[in-house]
A = this chain, B = another copy of it.
Amino acid sequence: MQEEIQKHNLASFTQVSEAFDFLANKLTKNGLDVGNILSQLSGFQVAIPSWALGAGGTRFGRYGIGGEPANLEDKIQDVGLIHALTGCAGAISLHIPWDIPSDTQAIKELAAANGLVFDAVNSNTFQDQADQKLSYKFGSLSNVNKDIRDLAIDHNKQVIDIGNALGSKSITVWLADGSNFPGQSNFRNALDFTARSLQEIYQYMPTDWSMFIEYKPYEPHFYHTVIQDWGTSFMLANACGDRAYTLVDLGHHLPNTNIENIVSTLIYQGKLGGFHFNDSKYGDDDLTVGSIKPYQLFLIFNELVWGLDNNTKNNPAPAWMIDASHNLKDPIEDLIQSLDAILIAFAQALIIDQNALQAAQMNHDVSLAQEILQDAYRTDVRPLIQKMRASKNVAIDPLKAYRSMEIRNKLIAKRGVNSRATGL
């Protein structure tokens, strides 16, 4: 593989160098430290969730792709492949019970061989498993029935145990609980039960672990969701303790929400724990990152870059993850496109002239402040990313490399056209 990548890179190396030199020259003139930018780009790593390697679907159906990974080993190999091509996908985020390893040691070694670490583990109490004694149909951590809450709490503890054995240091709780009709649920009780359940899980975590509490306004419930917004998540995290944080999923907001303001507020409070990247036009559409609202992505990265450079409240390094659903595209291609979009937005944020911006803000010079952000955004930063990739010996154009190596066909040949990823 390494060889094929080198061959691929060779073809465009001169062109990349020229474009990089032209851009680097311009940026340097503007006072930027291009070497430092390359170094930050190079260090950026995004986790791939284990459920993202197969075809997604909607409630109206699902169209399979061929060669889907049918087990955890296959999934790790797919992430390893993406990491080999892009150099920035060096972590995998497991979903329990879909990905319970049968042989922990073997799985750890396989991951290491692929250059991967285990990021946050994810619990699942939005589905019933085949042999489950009590149902989550009417809620799990928030259920009025104590036995059901306990079942859900125990599941989360088991997820922590599994993660701990693999070297994970955090658990992400996405609680789908809610109700479909007015009257079905007593909001306050559901929230209070949730607070207590989360605290019990929090207490169970090893002392070097963190908990990320996700929020979402609707779906799979269509009237009320227990953790409907960042405010609720933030409140619950505070009630748990210092190592509980809010997790932001870009798709989990009501129409027109100013997400970058939420990101800024969480950093202000030292409570931004993690990030799920995707894009959307209507709801939690789970589209490729940057495919619909790339400027919003840039504005969020502006908050992240400035916020973490001015990290007065000890935010941890956020856990980055892509959380998209691949209904029409080859998942590996889709993830590569998402990684591209993330790096582009990050690079654009890195070249913002923060001093000039701050001066414009002090002067209430609205036009100029806008110009400064737009200047960074309108710059074609791809040469920076290509240069970084060339230096790391990963593919300059990962999607093109993936296609020229005909990897999907090889996966189909190996795994069959009807193999299906575990999960939904």
Within 342-373 of A, Cβ neighbours of B (below 8 Å) are at: 344, 357-358, 360-362, 364, 366-367, 369-373
Task: Find A231's partner among B192, B229, B258, B282 (CB 8 Å cutoff).
Answer: B229
In this complex, which of A180, A235, A333, A382 has the most chain B Cβ atoms within 10 angstroms of its Cβ? A180
- A57 beta carbon closer than 8 Å to chain B: yes
Residue ID in chain B nearest A56 by CB atoms: B59
Inter-subunit contact B337/A367 (CB<8 Å): yes
How far is it, in angstroms, between the C-alpha of A370 and the C-alpha of B336 when the chains are bound? 13
Task: Find A229's partner among B60, B229, B269 (CB 8 Å cutoff).
Answer: B229
Q: Mark A24-63, 1 if CB is under 8 A from B, else 0.
A: 0010000000000000000000000000000011111101
Taking the closest CB of chain B, its distance from the CB of A32, in whole angstroms, is: 16
Q: Mark A251-263, 1 if CB is under 8 A from B, else 0.
A: 0001111101100
Copy number in the complex reads 4
How far is it, in angstroms, between the C-alpha of A191 and the C-alpha of B229 when the chains are bound? 19
How far is it, in angstroms, between the C-alpha of A224 and the C-alpha of B262 when the chains are bound? 10
How far is it, in angstroms, between the C-alpha of A280 and the C-alpha of B223 when the chains are bound? 8
Residue ID in chain B nearest A260 by CB atoms: B187
Residues of B within 8 A of A302 (CB): 182
Bin chain A's interface residue count. Answer: 35 or more
How far is it, in angstroms, between the C-alpha of A235 and the C-alpha of B328 when the chains are bound? 29
- A222 beta carbon closer than 8 Å to chain B: yes
Inter-subunit contact A181/B369 (CB<8 Å): yes
Inter-subunit contact B329/A366 (CB<8 Å): yes
Residues of B within 8 A of A267 (CB): 188
Given A223-B281, A367-B399: A288 in contact with B181 (beta carbons within 8 A) = yes
Residues of B within 8 A of A235 (CB): 231, 234, 265, 269
- A199 beta carbon closer than 8 Å to chain B: no
Residues of B within 8 A of A364 (CB): 137-138, 144
- A242 beta carbon closer than 8 Å to chain B: no
In this complex, which of A188, A189, A229, A267 has the most chain B Cβ atoms within 10 angstroms of its Cβ? A188
Inter-subunit contact A328/B379 (CB<8 Å): no
Given A60-B127, A126-B60, A223-B258: A291 in contact with B234 (beta carbons within 8 A) = no
- A128 beta carbon closer than 8 Å to chain B: yes
Inter-subunit contact A176/B60 (CB<8 Å): yes
Instruction: Spot the interface stretch: A107-115, A212-220, A388-396, A409-417.
Output: A212-220
